[in-house]
Amino acid sequence: MNVLWNVYHYYSQFSEAVAARIRNLRSPIEKKLKDCVKIFRWDDISHWAIREAITKMHKTLHKHIKQFKVSVTTVHSLPTLFLK
């Protein structure tokens, strides 16, 4: 049990740097997504136009989520977290 406690405390010193790195990676993707949502219009009358717009929005949302997952899951060493 003592080993787990020591491992936890060792890696907890890096948690703020990791959280800051994730925030930095997330912010541009989040901004692009918010801009896309601002542009998206719901005032179309036709059912087919709305359906097509929703399909485009789903594709865009999926693209941004995939981009975020790739940026977060890339391997970063601890020294690079502190240098950037």
pLDDT at 43 over 70: no
> Does the pLDDT at position 79 exceed 60?
no
The tokens for 47 are: 């059912």
The answer to whether the predicted template modeling score (pTM) of the entire model surpasses 0.95 is: no
Read off the pLDDT of each residue in 38-61 and give the average, rounded to a whole number: 80
**Tokens (6 digits) for 27:** 């912010």
> b/e map of 22-35 (b: 16 or more CB within 10 Å)?
eeebeeebeeebee
Supply the pLDDT for residue 83: 53
- Model confidence pLDDT, tens digit, residues 8-42: 999 898 888 888 888 888 888 888 888 887 777 66
Report residue 67 as tokens.
């981009």
Higher confidence at residue 19 or residue 43? 19
All structural domains of the chain with their residue ranges: 2-83
